[in-house]
Amino acid sequence: MAVDYTVIVVYLAGMLAMGWWGMRRAKSKSEFLVAGRRLGPWMYSGTMAAIVLGGASTIGGVGLGYQYGLSGAWMVFTIGLGLLALSVFFSARIARLKVYTVSEMLDLRYGGRAGVISGVVMWAYTLMLAVTSTIAYATIFDVLFDLNRTVAIVIGGSIVVAYSTLGGMWSITLTDMVQFVVKTIGVLLLLLPIAVVKAGGFGEMKAKLPTEYFDPLGVGGETIFTYVLIYTFGMLIGQDIWQRVFTARSDKVARYGGTVAGTYCLVYAIAGAVIGTAAKVMYPKLPSADAAFATIVKDELPMGVRGLVLAAALAAVMSTSSGALIACATVANNDIWSRLRGAVGKPAGEAHDEVKGNRAFILAMGVAVIVIAIALNDVVEALTVAYNLLVGGLLVPILGGLLWRRGTAAGALAAVVAGGLSVIGLMWWYGILANEPVYYGLLTSLAVYAVVSLATKPTDAQVLAAWRERLAGRGAGPAAEQPAAEPAPTPQ
């Protein structure tokens, strides 16, 4: 294992070095939070794929393949579908807004009264997403170094907090590109073919497994529908995803780069399910489906390759964790704290102070994430709560604002409150893991949004005019911060 350990240690040291290098580039709020809005198609596609394909997509995707066969791909597949829908239909408009958060978009659209409440909901979602990603370090470091759970979470979480705090989105972008390459090599080019060969090929897999393992709908229609509601629609509105859209240097980069990333996700989904199916042939009686990834890596891969594939799993977790962390800190600082203390829109001369403030919030949120991750045990329930609140509370006001001119601020606020409370109440009644909370919560939010919007005065014509100007990319405002005085070369 010495070679494997060396690969992992070099990888982790490289992540910290990227953080230090990114710190030298992040000289303004725009550079720190959205990489100066200057990512080209290559970097944009890689980092977008990295943020959405985390530990749940890698370890969990293989686990679903182990449990259900090829239909286990549906969870990650719906993530890819959501990213494709976002990229094709909405990303260009989102990129042209030149904002930093989803709540700022809601303020622009509805006239400045939706920010704090929507910010709290988005903050809760990004916080729990960061926590669940951080918990995954325990599984990986246990396989690598046989570390105890708390130590593993502290080590993995501290590395992510360190490079995220140092350079913000620049550090995260640079590390995500490395993580994207490592995941592609480790999972798609190495683990996938090796697993299939070790299982005896597809013919042997079909001979040894029940036919339902090769049924594309074997996981169940209701489950697939729930995946679409939670993950496909979740991709459309999450702060962690939108913050990556804001990094694109143009709306064309956001559209086409995101389409490439979404297509990559579809391939990754199928690969994970095939690896899990192969693991079922080799290890038919594992105690847990989620152990399939670690087992096949530990027992079947040669030295060195094993270290690279485990680095790929670590990369998957780190990319989601860092993206969720900076999103959580951005929302906490810009949508909640700044609004509550009445200091929105500081003068341009204080940009450097804004970098320090956002850096402090990343550090604070990072410490909180690590502490909560140590205390929390049920990852699935925490992630379900996060996505139910996100979709039930914010999907309708956000998409309604983008698609329906008649939507009003009162309707948006009512939808956030009614949808959020409905989801919480229904999770208490049906159980956290039930499908009904997100179904009925979403319907409640939609009904309240439509009724209250139609019953209240239409949005002011000047607000809508300013909104249309921003959507067209012509509006100017404090959010459209200029790059630093000495811009770095544009990445491709």
pTM: 0.86
CA distance 284 to 208: 10
For residue 159, give the nearest of 343, 11, 36, 351 by alpha carbon.
11
For residues 245 and 95, the answer to whether their CB atoms sit within 8 Å is yes
pLDDT value of residue 208? 93
Q: Rounded to whole angstroms, what are the CA distances from 217 to 59, 74, 231, 295?
A: 21, 9, 17, 26
Place of tokens 């139609």: 454
pLDDT value of residue 49? 92
Where do the domains of the chain lie, and which CATH numbers do they carry?
Answer: 1-339+354-376 (1.20.1730.10), 379-472 (no CATH)
For residues 311 and 297, the answer to whether their CB atoms sit within 8 Å is no
For residue 169, give the nearest of 10, 336, 349, 43 by alpha carbon.
43
State the amino acid at position 191 in one-letter form: L
What token pair was written down for 466? 């300013």
CA distance 293 to 279: 8
pLDDT value of residue 453? 95
CA distance 308 to 185: 8
For residues 395 and 361, the answer to whether their CB atoms sit within 8 Å is no
Give me the average pLDDT of each 10-residue run along the chain (492 residues). Answer: 77 82 80 90 92 84 93 95 95 90 90 77 89 79 76 89 89 88 91 94 92 92 91 91 93 94 96 96 89 86 83 83 92 86 51 76 94 79 82 92 92 93 93 89 96 94 90 61 42 46
**Residues paired with residue 63 on neighbouring β-strands, in sequence order:** none
For residue 51, give the nearest of 210, 197, 190, 180 by alpha carbon.
180
Start-to-end CA span in the chain (Å)? 37
